Amino acid sequence: MVKKIFLLLFILAFNNYAQNISARAYTDSSNYLIGDYINLTLKVKYDKGIIVSNPLLKDIFKDIELIKQEQPLLLEENGKQVVEFRYIVSVYDSMDISISGIPVGYKTGKDTTFLMAYTNPITFSVRKVKVNPGEDIKDVKEPIRIPLDWKMILLYLLIAAVIAALAYFLYRRYKKKHEGKEIQEFMPRIPSYITALNNLHQLEEEQIWQKGLVKEYHSRITEIIRRYFEDRFYLPALELTTTEALRRLKERYDTSDILQTTEEFLNNADLVKFAKYNPLAGVNVEMLKQAYQIVEKTIPKEKETGSEVFRNAG
């Protein structure tokens, strides 16, 4: 009898765990014309203590073009956390689109393994614009001809001549003023990896998340890595979304060693940035560890020895 009661409690606990997270996907309509903007929404409901990552959309964009990815929207419904991932997509051919369940990764508690929740399937149709062959083809209106105004042309030429004369005068004056002066020597530019490591080391010493400033901590550590990407890989990382930044990094041959670490780092930062709860302390420590790994694994080969010297000195 005791074994049966224990088995029943185990089954009830498992069913409750399975209901901790649910995902639903939907579009704003089921019929579109070619080139229409389609609003695709993924709504994930989950209990507190669950960490949700971005949906895995790679396989659904074979026939669908991603136009825009909006920032995740965080809500709360009936005691559950809700995050909405919104996308604007389009299709440029006539077809019926059928998307199977979209996977959404998540972690529970202190578990470091990502589990998967799947949305419901989505279907919609894209059709061509109907054309009535019986209607006459209308002529395109001829462009409007603007008569030449010689007075205005002469005025523009006169203004251009004055500007050119002024520019030449200022150039001659500048050249005469600086003629014969020695060229100043400038300090060499500090390598981007040293700047990033210095900033990470300073952030680590400030211990701001231990003082309760968790979101400020994640904002600063994310800015350090994104600014490093701009200087190291010449990417506008501060302006790109997480998905766009990862796509641009994957296009480079010298970032393969950090792609997985970077994806986890940026996804965790996004969740903390928009979440209404504080992450576990282990997440904050892991974020700093990942940031150091991203920088150290992308130091130019000829600079690796110098990096070890810096780390030992720090």
Q: What mean pLDDT do residues 42-67 have?
A: 82
Diameter over CA atoms, the chain:
106
- Contacts of 284 by beta carbon, 8 Å cutoff, 6+ apart: 209, 214, 217, 218
pTM of the model: 0.39
Token pair for 136: 């006459």
How much is the average pLDDT of 9-32? Answer: 69
Does 285 have pLDDT greater than 50? Answer: yes
Could you tell me where in the chain the CATH 2.60.40.740 domains are found?
A: 19-127
Domain 19-127: which CATH number of 3.40.50.1220, 3.90.1300.10, 2.60.40.740, 2.30.180.10: 2.60.40.740
Q: What is the rounded distance in angstroms from the CA atom of residue 247 to the CA atom of residue 271?
A: 19
Alpha-carbon radius of gyration of the chain: 29
Question: Which of the pair, 139 or 242, is modelled with greater confidence?
Answer: 242
Residue 261: pLDDT over 90: no
Spatial distance between the Cα atoms of 53 and 84, rounded to a whole number of angstroms = 12
> In sequence order, which residues have a C-beta less than 8 Å from that of residue 107 and are 6 or more positions away?
50, 51, 53, 113, 114, 115
pLDDT higher than threshold 60 for residue 173:
yes
